[in-house]
Amino acid sequence: MNAAVETKRPKGWIDPIREAEAVKALRESLASIELDEGEVADLIEGETSLFEAIDKLLARMVDAHLMLDGIKAATERLQARRERFERAVET
């Protein structure tokens, strides 16, 4: 039996691909109506979760950079500690 594997998503996950597809469909349905870009943006914001998905992706990117910075700092501290212990063992 070949069951589909479901990927666990974080709580509140919004699929950006699905939202982009919804925006594309919305824009296509609005093609015959003369709207300026501001009106289109307002409709996209009101009818989809694209902006929320983008906000969440950007927040995750910021979190990842902060985590990398923290890991780098911790690694440097551990490296310095290791070097101190190595010197202590040598003497």
Residue 73 vs residue 13, higher pLDDT: 73
What pLDDT score does 31 carry? 87
- CA 9 to the chain's CA centroid: 12
**Per-residue pLDDT band at 45 (split at 50, 70, 90):** very high
What pLDDT score does 8 carry? 78
- Residue 47 scores a pLDDT above 60: yes
Mean pLDDT of 51-79: 96
43 contacts 35 by C-beta, under 8 angstroms: yes
Task: Please list, residue by residue across 1-23, b when 16 or more beta carbons sit within 10 angstroms of its beta carbon and e when fewer do.
Answer: eeeeeeeeeeeeebeeeebeebb
What pLDDT score does 76 carry? 98
Q: What is the pTM of this model?
A: 0.64
